[in-house]
Amino acid sequence: MGRFVLRRLIQMIPLLIGITIITFALANLVPGSPVSNLELDPGARPEDVQRIRANLGLDEPLHVR
C-alpha cells in the first residue's frame, strides 16, 4: 500500500506542472489583459495603467513571467 501511495504522489508532480503550464498559456492567449478595462476608463491616467501593468508583471516577456 505504501508503494502505491508513493507512486501516485510521484505521478502528481508532472500532472501539476502540466496543469500549471496549460493554465498559464490559456491566461496569456485570451484577448485583452487584466488592465484593459482601465485603459478604456476616461478617468484613468496612462501613468497609472503603466504602473499597474508593471506591478502585475505584464510588461515582462512570457519566459520571465
pLDDT greater than 90 at residue 7: yes
Structural domain total, the chain? 2
Residues 6+ away with beta carbon under 8 Å from 39: 49
53 vs 44: CA distance, rounded Å: 13
pTM: 0.66
Q: Give the structural domain span for 6.
A: 1-30
Q: Is 13 found in the same domain as 2?
A: yes
**38 and 56 share one domain:** yes
**Model confidence over 24-60: pLDDT tens digits?**
999 889 888 888 888 888 888 889 999 999 998 888 8
Predicted pLDDT at 58: 87
Does position 21 have pLDDT exceeding 90, yes or no? yes
